[in-house]
Amino acid sequence: MSIELKAYQKVVEWGEENNPNYIIAMYYQAWCLFNLQEFQKTIDQFTKVIQFAENNPENSEAKAVAKRSRMELVDAFSKIGNPTNAWQFFQRVGGDLAHKMLEKLAGLYYNEGHWADAIIVYHKLQALEIENFNNNNGDNLCDYQLKVTNAVISSRPKDEQVVELKRLLNLYNKFSNEGHDAQKVKICGQESTALVWDQATHWHVEAVGSESSPGTKNKDTMNRTIELYDVILETFPNLDELTIEGFNEETKPTRYRVAYYKADLYWTMEDWHQCGPAFDAVVEIDPQGPLTPEAAYGAVLCYNKVYVQERGEKDKERQHKLKSDQNQKCDKACVKCKKKCKGEGKAQCS
């Protein structure tokens, strides 16, 4: 036990009568316990401060200290508490600050990289937004989904990341048509686009490579990246009109650039049937664009690859049929001597 904790306990032992430092000593006991990493005792002590204030509503100082205690109790809860039970507990001790306490808990988990716990709490906050708990028309719903998506990106495999990124853009579609605050809708669209684009281009480079890295050439990664390019194009027909922070003119997402990157991945995967139409789409979006000559030439090469591939398959079929016909003739010629053909399609009975 620290010297400071003993001192504050002594002040509390004097009792509350004629003791102006009673409630503040109770409050600082909690912080002494926190510094000693006695987190459950910290929660219990902050709760005592809150209960004292509730039992003494005429004590203005106790009311102010209890307000601080409610918010600071969250720091200790984040160390040992069960995030699934957080809302129920905060409602019991938090009064009208319960929602702010839950938001603070989510932020603590998120900032400390406790992704699974952060996702649980942000999902609860989303549920409260849908219920319009704060009478704000659920305007923070997209903010919370952005946090969930970032947490999933930081902690889960690519297939789950794709699901969450799609969920984010689906939510934006719904959110933008529900009469929410216009600025919130704008920010939701910008940040959602930036997040999906950033992840897609990150995977693109990871798979294809760069000057300093050969790339993994992993087709699963490339297919997932194409999924993200597709959902961007589907969700944002006005993509070129969006102002997205963090990107310059050469790196920001545009329909033209997204379409070209998608076609480039089909080319890398040697998916000739897909890359021709994909490069055609680039030319159609901007016939005068800087990448259009390369896209047009790429389309020609892709269609030629398809032709060569299909011609080769037809030649193989024709050769197989010819060999089959020859073998049938051989069998007929040899049936009289009751011996098998020698060679391929040549009747050499004796």
DSSP 174-196: HHTTTT--HHHHHHHHHHHHHHH
3-state SS assignment for residue 114: coil
Asked if the structure places residue 126 within a domain, the reply is: no
**Percentage of the chain modeled with pLDDT above 90:** 79
Residue 174 lies in a domain: no
Indicate whether 340 belongs to any domain: no
Q: How far is CA 242 from CA 171, 184, 249, 253, in A?
A: 18, 14, 12, 9
Name the pLDDT band for 345 (thresholds 50, 70, 90).
Answer: very low
Across 33-42, 209-218, 232-241, 308-317, least confident range: 308-317
Which of 81, 107, 124 lies at the terminal end of a domain, its last residue?
81
* From 222-231, 241-250, 304-313, the region with the lowest mean pLDDT: 304-313
Q: How many domains does the structure of the chain reveal?
A: 2
Among the listed residues 103, 34, 40, 44, the one whose alpha carbon sits nearest the alpha carbon of residue 71: 103
Per the domain annotation, does 292 fall within a domain?
A: yes
Task: Among 47, 81, 115, give the residue marking a domain's end.
Answer: 81
pLDDT at position 321 over 90: no
For residue 261, what pLDDT band results from cuts at 50, 70 and 90?
A: very high
Sign of torsion over alpha carbons 209, 213, 216, 220: negative
Crossing angle of the two packed helices 22-35 and 39-55, in degrees rounded to 10:
160
Q: Domain of residue 73: give its range.
A: 1-81
Give the pLDDT of residue 69: 97
Which SS3 state, helix, strand or coil, does residue 135 take?
coil
Exposure on the CB side of residue 292, measured as CA atoms within 13 A: 9
Confidence of residue 290 (pLDDT cuts 50, 70, 90): very high
Query: Which of 81, 100, 131 is the last residue in one of the domains?
Result: 81
Residue closest to 16 by CA, chosen among 51, 67, 68: 51
Q: What is the mean pLDDT of residues 42-58?
A: 96
107: nearest Cα among 99, 118, 115, 97 = 118
pLDDT over 90 (residue 1): no
Q: Which two tokens stand for residue 199?
A: 């992840």
Question: Comparing 211-220, 305-314, 331-340, which segment has the lowest mean pLDDT?
Answer: 331-340
| Dist CA 196 CA 149 (whole Å) | 10
Q: What pLDDT was estimated at residue 316?
A: 59
Cα gap 273→261, rounded to integer Å: 16
CA dihedral for 277, 224, 218, 282, sign (positive or negative): positive
**197 in a domain, yes or no?**
no
Compute φ and ψ for 218, nearest 5 degrees: -75, 120
pLDDT of 350 reads 46
Short-list 20, 28, 60, 65, CA closest to 45: 28
pLDDT at 239: 93
Residue 153 lies in a domain: no
In a domain, 89, yes or no: no
